[in-house]
Structure 1
Amino acid sequence: MRILLGTITLVLSALPLGAPATAAPVAAPAADPTWNESVVDADQSFRGIDAVSPDTAWIAGSSLTEGGPGRIFRSTDGGDSWQDVSPPGTEGLGFRDVEAEDASTASVLAIGPGEASRIYRTTDGGVTWTETFRNTEETAFYNCMDFYPGGKRGLAVSDPVDGTFRILATDDGGQSWEVLSDEGMPDSTGEFNYSASGDCLVIKGRSAWFGSGGDASHVFHSTDFGRTWEANDSTIPAGEAAGVFGLAFRTPREGIAVGGDFAAPTDGADATARTSDASEWSNAGDLARLGEDAAWIQGHRDTLVVVGESGDVMGSSISRDGGLSWEQFAETGFHTLDCVRHTCWAAGGNGRVATLRLR
């Protein structure tokens, strides 16, 4: 999404390349959650993360140095150390999403117009990669992807081409992709996705959703593997740099949308919305800052965490009532977030990664 690339990159400070750091997760009581943060690569802005388990996670980034390589890192020891498992030849690419089956198999999405949008896949923990998709439409700009349970079927979404969002699909675990017909997509002229967190498109059960901003702020919903979509008002205000930034679903019916306005990142009013039927959305609690990503905490039925980062404006908030109300628990924020069991993983600008333990 062009606004995000042009606006947000400028406010990130380009620090010199740093050596990967190590840090062990520290358990924190649910009443006082605390991030345990370290720097993996200070030249990277991380916006994609996938937590496979409390021990294993993948992160995807883009260089803060113009023309620098986008990088992929993997940890298999709970964040104590990170290995650079990047594909070769990634200079100038911006990785914004990573979807992993386990410690060995993962797909990563590079975003951008035309051929900058690519998908790579590994089955050996990043030792080797295969380019499985390269966009050939100059006006397409892919932003996010996700896979259905079982890992065979998956979808990716592009900003509108000729007035409708473009959907890419796989049915072989990401080994090959095809562009679906746009006949089942509502008119989306003036809208676009935000590649803020890798979660502008999410899947739960047989349903898929993606969020939008721009002239309208919608959540699009599909129940037939991306062939047809319904657009619903998200209740999050739209704008040139505003709308839905991330989505998270606890069940195939109960979900949360988060967003805000990158032009006014300190304004978290109306920045979250809830659904209990997978389609109709209602305004939820206000945030202290914008929200780029959200995740439900497994084992804590009504507990969610939201993170956001826009330059120096950042924060992390928690809800214990399904998103009806929020409490900011940290001035530290991140672009992307994923939680598995009692452990949350997050990553953000200047190569920062963190873990959070809730009991």
Structure 2
Amino acid sequence: MRFLILAAVWLSMLIPIKENPSFELDQSVQVDTIFKGNFGCRALALDGNRLWFAATGSRYGFIDLDKNISSENKLEPDTLDLRSIAITKNSVFLLNAGSPAFLFEVGKDGKQKAQRHSDSNKKTFYDSMKFWNDREGIAIGDPVENCLSILITRDSGKNWHKIDCSLLPKINNGEAAFASSNTNISIHGNNAWVVSGGSHSRIFHTSDKGKTWKVFDTPIVKGERMTGIFTSDFYDSKTGFVAGGDYSKPTSNVNNKAMTLDGGKTWKVMAQDKPFGYASCIQYVPGSMGKKLWSVGATGLFYSEDSGETWKLMLNDYTLYTLVVKDQTTLFAAGKNKIVKITLKP
């Protein structure tokens, strides 16, 4: 949602953040800054021993987690706000939020290969991107007509085709998506789930890699331009979690998180009136049977070990926007001017 960029400027006035904040850290967590810079980062992706990132100022690159070294590059034009990143066996794909939109393919050496798609419509605003496999991928954005903008590739990212609105569920007036953390698309098997916000908080589901779609309502708060689902994750084809809330009321924890056990058809509100508040990213811990989740947003970094029934504040750093979970004890988070490694202590 294009409004998110403007809203981010004044959201900082709603949450008191010191110039050099002294963050409170739970005793069971260790935090190490592994990359610093003058940028905002809302897109991370793990690729073996490399952590790839996409950021403002057309910046992208990777951190070699084994060698503890980093590589950074810039795309042209150098003013792009890169908020979507996706990895295949041979390439990294980057997509900016805003108009004009550019989708780039980059080699695993970090060097730019080619521009694979562009869109100059003034309403264009892409939010996230994922791949089902090395050949088939999806990118989603705000509506230009009466449906979400959905791009599909079937040839390893060389060509991207926009799905015609006649083949997609119609969008409601005032409904769009958010580019908060590259997590409003979830992928599992042949499935993809895409979440929306604004006037409605819904989930769009395809079980055949984008050929047909259904849409379901959720109980997440809606009705205002800055309300809705900002992030989602599915542990398997049935178990999923969505979160978000009201961006203008970052501490509000009413109807801002929900879980499904039937692939998105029905949803149960979780942890009502309990932490956390507005969330920009939520992710399951792999190998946890859908029990463990991490969330980050305007009220800090939170952890759950009971499928989202209860949450524990692990770090009150309000400047983190996105995260990716490596394993049971390790995750990475990024946001304003930094990328950090977070480790659960034994």
TM interval, short-chain normalised = 0.7 to 0.9
Match of 1:355 among 333, 341, 346: 341
Q: For the residues of structure 1 that align with 2:292 and 2:109, how far apart are their CA atoms?
A: 32
Structure 2 equivalent of residue 77 of structure 1: 65
What's 1:65 paired with? none
Structure-1 separation of matches of 2:12 and 2:309: 31
Change (3 A) 1:241 1:322: same
Q: 1:91 aligned to 78, 102, 107, which one?
A: 78
**What is the CA-CA distance between 1:204 and the residue it aligns to?**
1.1
Q: Secondary structure at the match of 1:8?
A: helix
CA distance in 1, matches of 2:45, 2:293: 17
Q: 1:50 aligns with which of 45, 49, 55?
A: 45
Q: Distance in 2 between matches of 1:159 and 1:207?
A: 20
The aligned counterpart of 2:231 is 246
In the alignment, structure 1 residue 60 sits paired with structure 2 residue 44: no
Q: For each residue in 1:152-191, what CA deviation from the matched residue of structure 2 results, as whole angstroms up to 9, or x when unmatched?
A: 1111112112221121100112121011122232221320
Give distance in 1, aligned partners of 2:311 and 2:12. 27
Q: Where do residues 128-167 of structure 1 align in structure 2 (5 Å cutoff)?
A: 128-148=112-132, 150-167=133-150
Letter paired with 1:50: A
- 2:29 is aligned to 33
Shift of 1:39: 4.5
- The answer as to 2:292 corresponding to 1:303 is yes
Query: Structure 1 residues 295, 202: closer, same or farther in 2, change over 3 A?
Result: same
Segments of structure 2 that go 5 or more residues without pairing to the other structure are 14-24
Secondary structure of 2:29 counterpart: coil
Instruction: Kindly report the root-mean-square deviation, in angstroms, between the aligned alpha carbons of the 2 structures.
Output: 2.2
Q: Does the 8 Å CA contact 2:192/2:205 hold for their aligned counterparts? A: yes
Structure 1, residues 277-302: CA drift from partner, whole Å, max 9, x if none? 11222211243321111111123331
2-side partners of 1:294 and 1:40: how far apart? 23
- Please tell me whether the aligned partners of residues 256 and 274 of structure 1 are also in contact (alpha carbons under 8 angstroms): yes
Deviation at 1:10, TM superposition (A): 4.5
Residue 345 (structure 1) shift: 1.1
Distance in 2, Cα, partners of 1:200 & 1:357: 25
Question: What does residue range 12-27 of structure 1 map to in structure 2 within 5 Å?
Answer: none
1:111 aligned onto 2:131: no
Q: Find 1:223's aligned residue among 204, 207, 220.
A: 207
Larger relative strand fraction: 2
Greater CA drift, 182-191 or 208-217: 182-191
CA distance, structure 1, for counterparts of residue 185 and residue 9 of structure 2: 21
Distance 2:83 2:220 in 1: 23
**In the alignment, is the contact (CA less than 8 A) between 2:11 and 2:248 conserved in 1?**
no
Give yes or no for the alignment of 1:4 onto 2:29: no
Q: Find the residue that maps to 2:143 and give its secondary structure.
A: strand
Work out the number of aligned pairs and report it: 326
User: Are the aligned partners of 1:232 and 1:281 in contact in 2 as well (CA < 8 Å)?
Assistant: no
SS class of match (1:292) = strand
Q: Is the CA contact (8 Å cut-off) linking 1:74 and 1:85 kept in structure 2?
A: no
Please, what TM-score do these two structures have when normalized by structure 1? Answer: 0.85
Flag the 1:263–1:78 CA change in 2: closer, same or farther, 3 A: farther
Alpha-carbon offset, residue 124 of structure 1: 3.5
1:272 and 1:61 mapped to 2: Cα distance? 27
Q: How far apart are the structure 2 equivalents of 1:225 and 1:233?
A: 21
Aligned mate of 1:236, from 220, 223, 234: 220
1:11 to 1:92, Cα distance in 2 relative to 1, 3 A: farther
Q: 1:48 to 1:83 in 2, by over 3 A?
A: same
Matched residues in 2 for 1:354 and 1:246: separation?
Answer: 20
Distance 1:143 1:8, change over 3 A: same
User: After TM superposition, what 4+ stretches of structure 1 lie above 6 angstroms from structure 2?
Assistant: none
Q: Partners in 2 of 1:51 and 1:336 — Cα distance?
A: 13
| 3-state secondary structure, aligned to 1:164 | coil
